[in-house]
Amino acid sequence: MKTYLEQFEKEVLIPLFKKEKRTPEPVPLKKGKIHLTEFGNFIESSFDCDQILAFDYYGLFKISKKIIDLHKQNIKTFPCIKIINSPVIHFSSVKKEQIHELAPHLYNKFDDFKNYLVKLRWNK
């Protein structure tokens, strides 16, 4: 499932961001308690992208390396910043039609992937 997650982010979520402009929303810069769970370990806290962008997986925010780099550059000037405004793609809002359009080879396994995430997130 880990490789599916990486492919899904690279081939669906990032292109979806480039295709559809998103309104910036508050995104936490620090890891929360959810990052310490099995779900958090699976999703991880960051991804490679040269854009300011975040993914929301059922309340767990995964931020781009660009956000991390900008935060590191400005931490001395603005040490109290804990939240930034960033475009966010919510996992729950991604439609199967969008997956089929952007990455048809990921379409058939999406339901299994989604069920796996729900099971990890809520221990069901």
Q: Residue 9 has what pLDDT? A: 96
Query: Distance between CA 21 and CA 88 in Å, rounded?
Result: 10
Query: What confidence tier does 12 reach under pLDDT thresholds 50, 70, 90?
Result: very high
Task: Give the pTM.
Answer: 0.91
Rounded distance between C-alpha atoms, residue 42 and residue 58, angstroms: 13
- The DSSP secondary-structure symbol of 91 reads G
Number of residues in the chain: 124
Residue 118: which H helix or E strand, with range?
helix 110-122
Question: What is the per-residue pLDDT across 48-105, written as a single tens digit (0 to 9) for each?
Answer: 999 999 999 999 999 999 999 999 998 888 888 899 999 999 999 999 999 999 999 9
d(C-alpha 102, C-alpha 10), whole Å: 10
pLDDT at 124 over 80: no
